Amino acid sequence: MRIADLYIRVSTDEQADKGYSKRNQEEVLRRYCDMNYIQVRKVVYEDHSAKTFNRPAWSKLLADLRKSKGKSDLIIFTKWDRFSRNAGDAYQMINQLRSLGVEPQAIEQPLDMSIPENKIMLALYLATPEVENDRRALNVFHGMRRAKKEGRWMGTAPIGYKNRTMENGDKYIGPKEPEAGIMKWVFQTIADGIYNTEQIWKTARLKGLKCSKNNF
């Protein structure tokens, strides 16, 4: 009978209702092991992103496999994106595991790695999540850039303003009194060039502005 470690990963930025919940993954993996006469040695839970293998639970599992070489034949997970979202790192890790006599396998995307052509499918399974991550990041970048070009302020409103929302849901920043009036006086006084910045800051505080010297 083969022996397996179950690897269950849900990162903090993933939703449980997508079928990635720890309970759901464990149920599916245990059912698979029962049906295929595989003995479960341990269950490993992870809550970190799969962008790299610098994950606490994975590091402990890898150290245990090195220490207990030969006691486990498989590392089983549901899909390859539970294992990794970086194709380059994944190939290196697969080679490390094989040197320990351990075969990683995704039960919902099974691959017989003795068949050379299946390496193409493995590359697809590993690269697809990475491409999705890169595309998502690019969309966010372009979205923020477009918003700035349209004159929208991104992030927390600066001193003298307040984040507001229109009736249609669009967000904008609007003046916040009395800070707005004080900040108008500040900029005008700086433009006059009579007093230095620290003197103006101290006077602004006396007027009621709550702001540290560094932030000012």
Note down pLDDT in tens along the chain; length 216 residues. Answer: 899 999 999 876 554 445 468 888 999 999 999 999 999 999 999 988 888 899 999 999 999 999 988 889 999 999 998 998 887 888 899 999 999 999 999 999 998 877 888 888 888 888 777 777 778 778 777 777 777 777 777 778 888 888 888 778 777 888 888 889 999 999 999 999 888 988 999 999 999 888 888 888
pLDDT of amino acid 73:
94
pLDDT of amino acid 19:
47
Residue type at 109? Q
Domains of the chain: residue spans and CATH: 2-133 (3.40.50.1390), 161-206 (no CATH)
Continuous segment of H or E residues that includes residue 76: strand 74-77
**What predicted TM-score, i.e. pTM, was given to this entire model?**
0.59
Count CB atoms within 10 A of the CB of residue 147: 13
Distance (Å, whole) CA 19 – CA 34? 21
Distance (Å, whole) CA 54 – CA 49? 9
The pair phi, psi for residue 193, each rounded to 5°, is 75, 20
Cβ 55 vs Cβ 83: under 8 Å: no
